[in-house]
Structure 1
């Protein structure tokens, strides 16, 4: 019978993984920041949001292909990116091998339904932040690469074609070129400014130091609006990712 992790065990596992990953990013000169619920927790709660059960990191998209090299030998973890033939989500994930999760059937879980029950453990989510170019011609190119790669990724999923998937990944590389402009992700067209990964600050998160944007409040306002407001019980329930977490 599988043994369920307590909330404290879940968070300790996530923090251990986050420290391992961010240390590797620092060693390989890859800038990163805490984002989304993890950044909100860092600023508002000085650690995890009381009901949160994941850990969110962002890097500039041009570095995401380097992760395929430096994360291949992560001890006790699996690394998932669009380079994996059976993985189609745009968010990269480092998944713990010693745990397994009962995840809610959100869109990405349905999209990757072949993985969820067998492969996925507690995850650190790594979001590639792309740049929307200022130059009009560069913006048109960027839009073409974005739409083309998205279409081909979906087509490769339907046809289970590694060849089409490789073309989509090459187009993603072109999309990730270091243009001059504002950062954004596929999680909504919110533009965070070209200095997002410059002059980073360090914050204490449940006893560990991680990097955050120089102006985290500006990021949170753009993402959440009134980020200091505590959500309702219904909103909290919607924000929980996992039904349960177990040791394998």
Structure 2
């Protein structure tokens, strides 16, 4: 089926900024605190916008506010016209164990992906961390996440990886694991420690690393950041957060480590399904 006009990299980033602007307004209207995070926070601090070679945006929310957002989107899944939310907790038919805000008017195809998706902004919950045996718990968590990811590969998310999958034992795994039960188990493990009211939190659901564990008090002191031509919210103490993840975050990484999703994007025509 014929695609619409391809978007340039600059146009993709402009569309992502428009999405951030709408999401910011929606979260503020619903009294949900958030912070830009990871490379988006680094880009805001170091480049006042996107890291030049980056092509996605990430938002972090404490689990209690995240759960409220899930309820809001399950009740009325519309943020602003062409924006809506997807994810397992919104609709169990979706694989993702976190929220993706998608632009229904723009399709993308990423290198190695077997199917088209909508342009997205990721929203991750920050969950409380165990106070004991963190290293062991983290390895256990990564193992479960690896199983979940390989199950998604087997279900056709990554066609290129799927070829390699057939050469190893993960192929046996996908035959015996129910994806919905596995995703529910994974989310339950991520939220296991929240009742303890620990100070330390982490974007445990997907990209969490032991080095990205920070104090929940960072969410108590937010400020505004210029990100390209829009204004977004983030931790006032960006230095503590970015040092935890990147170390000397003002130093550019070697060119070989400057990676992105490497996707193409186009506006959806009326004939596009």
Asked whether the two chains share a fold, i.e. TM above 0.5, the reply is yes
Distance 1:161 1:51, change over 3 A: closer
Find the partner of 1:183 among 201, 212, 234: 201
- What are the Cα deviations for residues 13-68 of structure 1, in whole angstroms up to 9, with x where unaligned? 11111111121111112110011111111000111111211111100122222222
Aligned pairs, number: 229
CA contact (8 A) 1:91 1:127 kept: yes
Find the partner of 1:130 among 118, 127, 130: 127
Distance 1:168 1:216, change over 3 A: closer
Whether 1:242 and 2:268 are equivalent positions in the alignment is: no
TM-score between both structures, scaled by the size of structure 1: 0.78
Find the partner of 1:104 among 111, 135, 148: 111
Match of 1:197 in 2: 219
Distance 1:104 1:210, change over 3 A: same
CA distance, structure 1, for counterparts of residue 256 and residue 26 of structure 2: 37
Aligned 1:68-147 pairs, distance under 5 A:
68-71=70-73, 72-74=77-79, 75-83=81-89, 84-105=91-112, 117-118=115-116, 120-134=117-131
Distance 1:172 1:15, change over 3 A: same
CA distance, structure 1, for counterparts of residue 229 and residue 264 of structure 2: 25
CA distance, structure 2, for counterparts of residue 55 and residue 195 of structure 1: 23
Query: Which one is further off, 67-76 or 156-165?
Result: 156-165
CA contact (8 A) 1:101 1:242 kept: no
Residue 233 of structure 2 aligns to a residue whose secondary structure is strand
Whether 1:43 and 2:45 are equivalent positions in the alignment is: yes
Residue 94 of structure 2 aligns to a residue whose secondary structure is coil
CA contact (8 A) 1:133 1:179 kept: no
CA distance, structure 2, for counterparts of residue 164 and residue 51 of structure 1: 34
Query: Which one is further off, 94-103 or 172-181?
Result: 172-181
Shift of 1:103: 1.1
Shift of 1:232: 2.5
Query: Which one is further off, 206-215 or 123-132?
Result: 206-215
Q: Which runs of 5+ in 1 are unaligned?
A: none
RMSD after superposition: 3.0
Residue 85 of structure 2 aligns to a residue whose secondary structure is strand
CA contact (8 A) 1:131 1:182 kept: yes
Shift of 1:171: 6.1
Match of 1:220 in 2: 242
Find the partner of 2:252 among 217, 230, 233: 230
CA distance, structure 2, for counterparts of residue 168 and residue 37 of structure 1: 24
CA contact (8 A) 1:129 1:183 kept: yes
CA distance, structure 2, for counterparts of residue 208 and residue 222 of structure 1: 26
CA distance, structure 2, for counterparts of residue 166 and residue 90 of structure 1: 8
CA distance, structure 2, for counterparts of residue 36 and residue 246 of structure 1: 26
